[in-house]
Amino acid sequence: MNRRDLQKLAELRLEEAKTLYDNGFYDGAVYLCGYVIEAALKARICKHLQMKEYLDTGDMKSMFLSHDFDRLLFLSGLKNRINLANRRGTKLFQNWSLLTNWTPDIRYAPVGTHNRQHAKDLIEALIHNSDGFLVWIKKLW
């Protein structure tokens, strides 16, 4: 996948998460929020490392094929831009902290694990006007 494909995928997963949320499928909405973050970070990595395609095969697979948001944030070159020391980015850091509780293993969580409020909080952490993670990273991807 190239950078533009990953950008489109992030936006699509967000729309899917919102649709699930609007229809009361909170577990699915939460699950897809994680893939919004992952695709957005991978798009940024392509830009930062000047890669035409995201490397998820071959010798580099173990480094790039990851769901670990901290690793992906590091590879994106943005690790130092999301931290508490950046006073203007405090809300962004809070949103990032909420989002990083996600793991792909939540797909095995019992039905009803995630409630309406939790799903709403994650979506808001992605799309908040000035401090949403997706809003922020779109300026950099």
Residues 70-128 pLDDT 10s? 889 999 999 888 876 566 668 899 999 999 999 889 999 999 999 999 999 999 999 99
CB distance 64 to 71 below 8 Å: no
Each domain of the chain, given as residue ranges in start order, spans 3-138
Q: What is the distance between the alpha carbons of residues 72 and 97, in angstroms, rounded to a whole number?
A: 14
In the CATH hierarchy, which top-level class contains the domain 3-138? Answer: mainly alpha
pLDDT for the residue numbered 104: 87
Global pTM value: 0.90
Average pLDDT, the chain: 90
Contact 122, 33 (CB under 8 A): yes
